[in-house]
């Protein structure tokens, strides 16, 4: 009887640990490159998103990716003065550097640079273990 109680306790502890670890969100990437575009013609949003989806997500070294439009949730403090937001993540400095010089990235920048009013870029690093 004592053995069964101990086994049950160990199994319950193991399940609780697995559930707790499984509920913790993982970080998207070590290097998080975030870009906001204000386009000269906001109607070009879908084309920019399609170009990014097609050309940038598959560049070697990209570990996470998202491109989309501003989500309006009625919060005045949230910056909504952009047309397209873009996120791409990398695990190494080398992967990020290779991305910046990859011909697909260079081509997207060359195509869209004349078509944006402004661009804001932030690189956020997560060096936690």
- pLDDT value of residue 120: 97
- CA dihedral sign of residues 7, 13, 15, 18: negative
DSSP secondary-structure letter at 58?
T
Q: For 6-41, how does the pLDDT look when each residue is reduced to its tens digit (9 = 90+)? A: 655 565 555 555 555 556 667 789 999 999 999 999
The token pair at 118 is 């402004």
- pTM for this structure? 0.78
Domain boundaries, given as residue ranges, for the chain: 31-125
* pLDDT digit string, tens, across residues 39-88: 999 999 999 999 999 999 999 999 999 999 999 999 999 989 999 999 99
Region 31-125: CATH code: 3.30.70.100
């Amino acid at each position: 009887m004592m053995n069964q109680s101990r086994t049950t306790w160990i199994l319950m502890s193991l399940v609780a640990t697995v559930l707790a670890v499984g509920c913790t969100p993982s970080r998207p990437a070590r290097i998080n490159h975030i870009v906001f575009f204000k386009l000269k013609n906001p109607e070009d949003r879908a084309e920019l998103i399609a170009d990014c989806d097609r050309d940038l997500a598959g560049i070697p070294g990209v570990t996470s990716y998202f491109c989309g439009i501003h989500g309006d949730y009625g919060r005045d403090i949230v910056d909504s003065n952009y047309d397209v937001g873009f996120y791409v993540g990398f695990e190494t400095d080398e992967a990020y550097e290779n991305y910046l010089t990859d011909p697909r990235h260079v081509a997207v920048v060359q195509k869209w640079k004349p078509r944006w009013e402004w661009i804001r870029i932030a690189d956020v690093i997560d060096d936690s273990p």
